[in-house]
Amino acid sequence: MRMRSLHETALHRLFRIKGEIYQEPDLKACLKKLKLQETDLVITSNSQMKKIEETNALGKAVLLNMDAYGTKEPKEEWVDEILKEANAYPYERIIAIGGGAVIDVSKLCVFGDGRTVQELYNDKEKLRKTRELIAMPTTCGTGSEITNVSVVEFPSLHSKLGLQMDALFPDKAILIEELLLSLPYKTFALTSIDALAHAIEALLSPKANPYTDMYAKSAILGILENLQEVKGTQKLPQALQKSLICANMAGIAFSIAGCATMHALSFPLGTNCQLAHGEAVYAVFAQTLRYYEKKHIPLCKLENVLKSLPEGPSSILGLQELLSEIYPCPDFKALGIHEGICDTWAVSVYEKQQRLLVNSPCVLSSGDLAAIYKSCI
């Protein structure tokens, strides 16, 4: 009798990690160990260019500065230009050294088949990964180095959309504390809040399980410990490697349990108000949790984690107060956001971001989403 493979069964999978996680003392040592060749494409941004060049460890690898094509969040038009460059040579490895935007764009370069961004999104079932992807995060927030999602802004749709598939998992994630040493405080604060949102949304997700809870809880505790340390100082914490690892743990948690309402609501803010991703998430962070409380959604898992902190916030209100001391929350009124805009955005999010909304701890209508937006005004 023929045995059925796992692909033919309807097993309920609790946990998996695609790819390996490494830790290196510094960038130079890491690049030397990778033994870069002309078949390697290194994608980075302005902030890392000099640092990479000074290692003298590039060898014959090609270095591509993403900021020469576009800045801030990835947009369809200029990501297409990068894809043209990446597809013009038979590279064998794509090495991403940067924040979430750099890593997200690099993920789309693993196919090398000449498709545009739009075609990649439309031809998901036909895509075949042909290149190894190595990711080295330079912020402590996105978790993109361990997830299978790439997010691109489509101006024609006035929205960001995520492509999610196993081929986008980096093969190796390398955590290097040195890459965070020159991080501006604002970037540290906002990417830390983004990582905190990843962990909280994974913890509250209906897809959560004991494995994702373990990673999410550890991430929340570590992130809050570092934020508590820097409160009122405008300085980076002593243990930056902990911030990297906690962001990575949050990425592992949400790669299985998913991100949810905060991230879905953040996309129109990023597109229309030119907010960085972490800042857009922060803008709706507190009011999303407050709305859950108003609807009597059980948040005991999060509350118990907060109560376990020896110092710091012991409640959701205390968490909101701590974050406001770390960095000012974006002001909806100052951004020119009024109730009419909130209604429009809510409909758009409801129609385009079900990939994320299904991970919310309760079913939300477009009216619920509009109410959260309006509570931020």
d(CA 217, CA 120): 35
Lowest mean pLDDT among 14-28, 39-53, 148-162, 199-213: 148-162
Residue 1 has what pLDDT? Answer: 45
For the cut 60, the answer to whether the pLDDT of residue 80 exceeds it is yes
Q: How confident is the model at residue 92 (pLDDT cuts 50, 70, 90)?
A: very high
Q: How confident is the model at residue 12 (pLDDT cuts 50, 70, 90)?
A: confident
For the cut 60, the answer to whether the pLDDT of residue 5 exceeds it is no
| 326-351 per-position pLDDT tens digit | 999 999 999 999 999 999 999 999 99
Is the separation of the CB atoms in 223 and 196 below 8 Å? yes
Residues in the chain: 377
133: helix, strand or coil: strand
Q: How confident is the model at residue 110 (pLDDT cuts 50, 70, 90)?
A: very high
Angle at 177 (CA atoms; ends 176, 178), nearest 5 degrees:
90
Is the separation of the CB atoms in 247 and 222 below 8 Å? no
Can you count the helices (H) and strands (E) in the chain?
Answer: 15, 8
Strands 132-137 and 93-98: parallel
Residue 175 has what pLDDT? Answer: 98
**How large is the average pLDDT for residues 103-113?**
97
For the cut 70, the answer to whether the pLDDT of residue 3 exceeds it is no
Q: How confident is the model at residue 8 (pLDDT cuts 50, 70, 90)?
A: low
Is the separation of the CB atoms in 264 and 288 below 8 Å? no
Q: How confident is the model at residue 26 (pLDDT cuts 50, 70, 90)?
A: very high
| 170-195 per-position pLDDT tens digit | 999 999 999 999 999 999 999 999 99
| 205-243 per-position pLDDT tens digit | 999 999 999 999 999 999 999 999 999 999 999 999 999
334: helix, strand or coil: coil
**How large is the average pLDDT for residues 243-258?**
97
Lowest mean pLDDT among 11-15, 112-116, 258-262, 291-295: 11-15
**How large is the average pLDDT for residues 25-48?**
96
Q: How confident is the model at residue 73 (pLDDT cuts 50, 70, 90)?
A: confident
Is the separation of the CB atoms in 47 and 138 below 8 Å? yes
Torsions phi, psi for 18 (to 5 deg): -100, 125
For the cut 70, the answer to whether the pLDDT of residue 2 exceeds it is no
**How large is the average pLDDT for residues 144-153?**
95
Is the separation of the CB atoms in 324 and 298 below 8 Å? no
User: Tokens 């946990």 — which residue?
Assistant: 15
Classify the C-alpha dihedral 138-140-141-144 as positive or negative: positive
**How large is the average pLDDT for residues 75-91?**
96
Please report, for residues 115, 197, 199, 283, 301, the alpha-carbon distance to residue 217 in angstroms, rounded to integers and kept in the order given. Answer: 39, 12, 7, 23, 9
Q: What is the DSSP letter of 4?
A: P
**How large is the average pLDDT for residues 256-260?**
97
Q: What percent of the chain has pLDDT over 70?
A: 98
- The one-letter code for the residue type at 79 is V
Is the separation of the CB atoms in 229 and 237 below 8 Å? yes
Structural domains of the chain sorted by starting position, each given as residue range(s) with its CATH number in brackets: 20-180 (3.40.50.1970), 194-376 (1.20.1090.10)
Residue 312 has what pLDDT? Answer: 79
235 is written with which tokens?
A: 């300085």
Residue 6 has what pLDDT? Answer: 52
Q: How confident is the model at residue 7 (pLDDT cuts 50, 70, 90)?
A: low
CA distance between the termini of the chain: 64
